[in-house]
Amino acid sequence: LYYGALKGTSFRWLNLAELCDRLLPPNDVYSIKYFTAPLKPRPGDSQALTHQQIYLRALRTLPNVEVILGHFLANKVRMPLADGSGFAEVIRTEEKGSDVNIATHLMADAFRRRFEVAVLVTNDSDLKEPVRIITQELDLKVGIISPVLTQGRSPSRELTRHATFVKRIRKGALKSSQFPNQLSDSTGTFHKPTNW
């Protein structure tokens, strides 16, 4: 969701419950699981972790949203320059655990018959096998909402081959599914980060 539809946009203050209601009428959305990992501060982006924490706090104001955390690994690595003229030392970050967590929760919920229809907001073809097992062997429905906004890019063929249905996220749905700038929870009032 973040890399496919939100990064670099003004839509990051996204109310997931509102988005699901817009994308999945007339279905009743009972549970939303948001999989992410706490960011590690990087040079030049010291506010990223604070902004993420504020966003997760906003998500936790929604009664049907559960935040499930993995973790990030950050390592310095030497990588070749695109023009082949040498190497550069870069910080490579990898989100660890989210894919496994998504697949595990999806499979566990399917085996426990906790849904009539599961919907994944992803374009990650690594999830094709859980989707295949659930739709073909457990005879449950799994929809894919593709977060790919870039023109010319398509939803993953591997995923769509096994999905019950496929939808795309449109910019209009993102724009109309934003939290208000100010929210409150049991701790008090908080605001959307200023540069979001």
pLDDT per position as a tens digit, 40-99: 766 666 788 899 999 999 999 999 999 999 756 566 888 888 888 988 888 776 666 678
CA–CA distance, 62 with 177 (Å, rounded to integer) = 13
Structure tokens at 104: 């595990």
- Cis peptide, bond prior to residue 26, ω within 30 of zero: yes
pLDDT at 174 over 80: yes
CA–CA distance, 149 with 64 (Å, rounded to integer) = 26
pLDDT at 150 over 80: no
For 87-140, write each residue's pLDDT tens digit.
Answer: 888 877 666 667 899 999 999 999 999 999 999 999 999 999 999 999 999 999
Predicted confidence at residue 42, as pLDDT, reads 66
Predicted confidence at residue 96, as pLDDT, reads 62
DSSP sequence for 38-105: ----BTTBTTHHHHHHHHHHHHTTSTTEEEEE-EEEEEEEEEE-TTSS-EEEEEEEEEESHHHHHHHH
